[in-house]
Chain A
Amino acid sequence: DVKVTQSSRYLVKRTGEKVFLECVQDMDHENMFWYRQDPGLGLRLIYFSYDVKMKEKGDIPEGYSVSREKKERFSLILESASTNQTSMYLCASSWGQFYGYTFGSGTRLTVV
């Protein structure tokens, strides 16, 4: 089975800290995605990548950046964490929409 692993299940960070959320997939997928999920707002796409060193903005990229140096790893970076970035962050990977996306279990980030 395809596995998408997110490095932390729960994370608490202070306002202004630089935060790294790591995601690793083990099935050689080309595409990787970062979403955040908030009550009442559903899942929203932050950034995605179709190839190594390639990135594209999703619907809500402000305050975030990403890094994809290796095919299997896609990192989400909060340059200066703020309380409104408290959320559940979900990473996903796929060969393409036709094959479906595989999601990780999520990282619940709290910024205090």
Chain B
Amino acid sequence: DAKTTQPTSMDCAEGRAANLPCNHSTISGNEYVYWYRQIHSQGPQYIIHGLKNNETNEMASLIITEDRKSSTLILPHATLRDTAVYYCIVLTQGGSEKLVFGKGMKLTVNP
């Protein structure tokens, strides 16, 4: 059973903010939301993760709704190099669970 649901694909104009949605309606209280991305022909890259508070780092911001049933990854100024498949994953921190990747969402940043 997929724990997360993402659109199959999304387009964004270069320089604009890219808002990538993820639904995780069955998330439990001790599960974190993680985001990874995979640029073509490379291994996946960790972006950010959060539990219930919004998080920001040098790559992106993560906005988690108050009920935690959905989240949005924000790339504030998308560049062509942000074109990739983005994976939203829920995972128990410190548990024995391993990263399980779904199909992800293809983001295409257009010039």
Of the 9-residue stretches A61-69, A71-79, A98-106, which lies at the interface with chain B?
Answer: A98-106
A16 at the interface (CB under 8 A from B): no
Contact B34–A100 (Cβ < 8 Å):
yes
Please name the residue on chain B nearest to A104 by beta carbon. Answer: B43
Which residues of chain A from 53 to 112 have any CB-CB distance to chain B below 8 Å in the complex?
58, 90-92, 96-98, 100-106
Q: Could you say which of B43, B99, B103 contacts A97, with CB atoms under 8 Å apart?
A: B99
How many residues of chain B get a CB closer than 8 Å to chain A's CBs? 23
- Nearest-neighbour CB distance to chain B for A90, whole angstroms, equals 5
Q: Give the secondary structure class of B's interface.
A: loop
A19 at the interface (CB under 8 A from B): no
Which residues of chain B from 64 to 93 have any CB-CB distance to chain A below 8 Å in the complex?
91-93
How many residues of chain A get a CB closer than 8 Å to chain B's CBs? 21
Q: Could you say which of A33, A91, A102 contacts B46, with CB atoms under 8 Å apart?
A: A102
A42 and B103 contact, Cβ closer than 8 Å, known pairs A48-B98, A58-B98, A97-B97: yes
